[in-house]
Chains A and B, each alone.
Chain A
Amino acid sequence: MMPKAIACFENVSRRFGDLVAVNDANLELFQGDVTAILGENGAGKSTLMKLLYGVYPPSNGRILIDGEPSAITGPADAMSNGVGMVFQNFSLFPALTVRENLLLAWPKTPFWASERNKGTSEVLANLTRLAPHINPHSKVANLSVGEQQLVELCKVLNISARIVILDEPTSVLTPAEARHLHGFIRQIAGEGVSVVFITHKLVDVEACADKIAIMRQGKIVDVSIRGQRSMSEIVTLMMGSDVKRTMSPPALPKKPVERLFLNKICADAPGMSLKNISLSVASGEVVGLAGVAGNGQALLAEVIAGIHPVTSGDVVLDGQNLVRRNQMETLATPLGYIPEQPRENAVVESMTLAQNLSLRTLASGGIDVNSDVQALLTRFHVNPPEKDRQASTLSGGNLQKLVSAREFGSPRAAILACYPTMGLDLSAIQTIYLEMFAQAEAGAAVLWISEDLDDLIAGAHRIAIIREGQVVAVKINDGSLTRDKLGALMTGMNLDELVA
């Protein structure tokens, strides 16, 4: 006899106005199973799971939990019914410590939760198991994105959820952290939890899925058991056509001309300081900057973009100094700059897509939006490509595309791209890389911050490694670089330790 499904979607649909986000979905979740929901941006993966989590009610169809129609009315109710969800946008309080955040979300927290209260030590049990490197007394604001995600996951595990939904958890993790997470997911599935893993990365599926549901344009187009389908079949189902991910970095110019100089940069921010960072990027060259999140790459990016002041050192592009010396000064960055987390750092959500694409013009006193915005939206596959739509209504992936459209849309002297493909699906990643390499081909100096070592190895001419605010190595990518070599440099461990 088949085991009984813990949760079951029956012909579930969800509409937002004219948009059908989920179209007639049928899916069963079982105890102890890891179900991967695979699909491109906007395929309806998150919406489907938000229906289970009670964020929205379904427009049609019904959801059964333990065979009974779900009576979940909202996230709080979902949590008390043993359904927990970790979102792409975290719900942590940055000003509080890790432990305080966990206590706030924990149903068993006593009224008086002091440090000495023995009853509260249990709240840290999952954290110690999953992420022993995170200090429970550090403020969440000082954690890297990857670490915050782990805290968020611990919050959900602390409510003893029977169903744990993870919304693209690995998009913000380093490869090592992701592997750790995969292992942990197998572990909690082994303990009988039903895990739903929303992703568009095949690595995740390969590493830990028992069952793979593929969504395209709101529909569940295929559900298969692990091993039933080859990876290329899965990709085909996901994309709707046979698209292979290929990377062809531009050829390096014969005589490289140095264009972007970082000269002995020192800078300080709470919890992080940069020490004597020097690096130069030639015209037409793509230099990758690899590092575990929270090792200073975010600060370095802000320094180069002229947002965070330096204590000493320069960044020079074509003879022009880009850094600011103090907080009062402001300068418009001449770089094509893609910061991490576009929603917070790169778009004005209250403005339209057209205005967001024209921010350079508007900020320097222009009144009209650029004329070629419609073409840009199409070229970068921003969905929906409506130039008068407000940016706040776009999904994270589409905001990322919007920012790429603005920054890569016209030729730049230099590019600074931080995780430019984060949260994007395969075909969008392809577009971003093509555009970035096209900039290099046209003579831009490209500095590319990423954690995706495979992509860096495939696409960068040189790879610099940043650790604890210092550039510890710059390697020429001559074909001898491997993930493990770079990983060892990133973590400061030697290779043997890494293998063990």
Chain B
Amino acid sequence: MMQVNRDSILVVSATILAFFLLMVGFFMLLGKPPFEMIGMLLTYALGDGYSISQTLAKTTPILLCALAAAVPGRLGLISVGAEGQLYAGAITGTAVVLAAPGLPAALMLPAMLTSAALGGAFYGYVPGILRARLHINETITTLLLNYVTVLWVNALVFGPWKDPASQGWPATISFPQAAILPALPASRIHLGLLIGIALAIALHFFFTRGASAQKIRILAGNRKVGEMFGLNFGTWVIMLMAMGGAIAGIAGIAEVSAIQGRLQPTISIGYGLTGFLVSWLSRHQPLIILPVAFLVGGLVAASDALQLFAKVPAASAIILQGLLFAVALAVPGFIKSMRPGYER
């Protein structure tokens, strides 16, 4: 479990303080009253039921994409493919809905989710096998493959999957009620969040208990030693890449089904990359990813609202996210360097 001690409390409070100061500076540069703006951010993130629902709606894909990056990350792989895998899952999940729109929910939801997971898994498997068998860097292949699925979605919704009734709007038909993920009434908190939390807990045990946990640790620590004792690095690369892909695939279909209600070009606003950063900030630890994803989800939701109501530029959301990540990475190192006895 996460160890809470004086050090981590110091790191967390210093990070929040530094982020706060940078936000103040940022809003002053924009010519907005900083404290009022920060107050609004908090209100829009957590102020009422609606805000919390918005925050959790953004948390869900970020959480799933972070887990998708964390799974191969535990083996020391740097996969930035969650975005592409998310789109792949959206495509294969949607395919089930389009092929059998009349299925009852009890069949539709499992079939749709499974198909999405398989689509995402395939999209992780490809760079996985390229890495395992041909030694092709997984970071490059996952990055490049991201562009491919985004374009596949475009090709489909502009072409064969376009709703004939939509009059030029590039999107599939609206999903039938049976294909919409169940959500809390009058909110955007849907089943995807529950899946994400369950996966985070399951992955925590997968990575810390049991035989697989030890094997992954050995291979991540020293591949040569693992192979000396009969562990196959390539097999694990493929397995974990596919596993991560499956999780991102679920994020994709969840967005399509619960939030958008149909497949259309912009499913994700960079959730894949945000998730990647969340995973690295949390050192690929699922139980730390949970709160970090919530925090970032709140920031994303609130800066969306801020842009709408306080007339700050649209890029503010990205800038604030960037500030948060930079601070979260820099502060622990800075604190460590201030300790007596720190060695260069």
Contact = CB atoms under 8 A, between A and B. Distances in A.
A187 B218 CA distance: 47
B217 A363 contact: no
B344 A359 contact: no
B218 A348 contact: yes
A74 B218 contact: no
A271 interface: no
A367 B211 contact: yes
B229 A359 contact: yes
A94 to B, nearest CB: 15
Nearest to A349: B221
Interface string A306-317: 110000000000
A362 B226 CA distance: 10
A305 B344 CA distance: 38
B220 A331 contact: no
A344 interface: yes
A332 interface: yes
Given A328-B234, A351-B217, A363 B226 contact: yes
Chain A contact patch, size range: 20 to 34
Contacts of B210: 367
Interface centre among A74, A305, A345, A351 (most CB of B within 10 A): A351
A331 B218 contact: no
A388 to B, nearest CB: 15
Contacts of A331: 230
Nearest to B225: A348
Interface string B9-25: 00000000000000000
Interface in B187-245: 209-211, 214-215, 217-218, 220-222, 224-234
B133 interface: yes
B48 interface: no
A359 B225 contact: yes
B230 A359 contact: no
A359 B228 CA distance: 10
Nearest to B224: A345
Contacts of B226: 348, 363
B224 A307 contact: yes
Nearest to B210: A367
A412 interface: no
A328 B234 CA distance: 7
B222 A363 contact: no
Contacts of B215: 362-363, 365
A306 B209 CA distance: 29
Nearest to A54: B344
Contact of A363 (B209, B230, B344): B230
Interface string B323-344: 0000000000000000001011
A339 B222 CA distance: 14
A56 interface: yes
Nearest to B212: A365
Interface in A286-333: 305-307, 328, 330-333
A366 interface: yes
Contacts of B233: 330
A346 interface: yes
The majority secondary structure among interface residues of chain A is loop
B173 to A, nearest CB: 45
Interface string A223-247: 0000000000000000000000000
Contact of A351 (B218, B227, B231, B234): B218
A337 interface: yes
Nearest to A333: B228
B227 A330 contact: yes
B218 A359 contact: yes
Given A56-B343, A74-B344, A359-B229, A350 B214 contact: no
A70 to B, nearest CB: 16
B211 A333 contact: no
A363 to B, nearest CB: 4
B234 A363 contact: no
A355 B225 CA distance: 13
Nearest to A368: B214
Nearest to A358: B214
A89 interface: no
A52 interface: no
A364 B344 contact: no
Interface centre among B210, B215, B230, B231 (most CB of A within 10 A): B230
Given A328-B234, A367-B210, A362 B227 contact: no
Given A328-B234, A330-B227, A367-B211, A350 B133 contact: no
B228 A348 contact: no
A362 B230 CA distance: 11
Contacts of A362: 211, 214-215, 218
A360 B225 CA distance: 10
Nearest to B214: A362
Contacts of A306: 228
A103 interface: no
B220 A305 contact: no
B221 A363 contact: no
B218 A363 contact: yes
B239 to A, nearest CB: 14
B222 A348 contact: yes
Nearest to A306: B228
Contact of A349 (B222, B227, B343): B222
Interface in B46-62: none
A347 interface: yes
16 contacts: A328-B232, A328-B234, A330-B231, A330-B232, A330-B233, A332-B230, A333-B228, A333-B230, A337-B228, A348-B222, A351-B217, A351-B218, A362-B211, A362-B214, A363-B229, A366-B211
Interface of A: 17, 55-56, 74, 305-307, 328, 330-333, 337, 339, 344-351, 355, 359-360, 362-367
Given A345-B225, A363-B215, 9 more contacts: A332-B228, A333-B228, A348-B218, A350-B220, A359-B229, A362-B211, A362-B218, A364-B229, A364-B230
